[in-house]
Amino acid sequence: MMRRTFVKAAVALAATVGLIVGTAGTALANDPDNWSSNRMLCQWSKCVKDSYLTMFWQSILWADNVGGVDVGTIDGQFGPNTHTRTQRWQTRHGLQADGEVGPNTWGKAENNGRWVYAGMQGSNKLYEYRGLARTVRSKILDGGLWLFENPKDKVWYGLNST
């Protein structure tokens, strides 16, 4: 009887650990070398609406001088204004203007020639998104953490963390 209880407890513990480890692995969803794998952003419930990743996208809109985006509107909330500005950005880049930042929009932002390697800082790789009007700075730490500098407050935020 005691052995059976012990086995059940061990199985439950293993399942819990597996769930935690599996969940932790999926939290690192944003890849600086493959933006198309970034989580989808939009104002609907199916997407990420408030995050550092949204703040990064708003910084790209700001850097590309999409009308109505100033440094004060970079707040990490994907609302109607970000939706409209995203549609303008998509139209400018020849994409379907659905206002959602999915694989096609992320891919175009990464591969439009503005995401460039900017050198090393110690063991950290530096990158810049050189927009039509401004630049957003980013770096990848030695351990793989992807950060960007929010132009609003000059604070570095992690993009591939929860």
Q: The domain at 35-158 falls in which architecture? A: Orthogonal Bundle (1.10)
pLDDT tens digits along 32-82: 888 988 899 999 988 988 889 999 999 999 999 998 888 888 999 999 999
Contact 147, 141 (CB under 8 A): yes
Q: Which one-letter DSSP state was computed for residue 84?
A: H
Whole-model pTM: value is: 0.79
Distance CA 78, CA 44 (A): 9
Distance CA 3, CA 136 (A): 59
Higher-pLDDT residue of 29 and 93 is: 93
What is the band of 162 on the pLDDT scale with cuts at 50, 70, 90?
very low
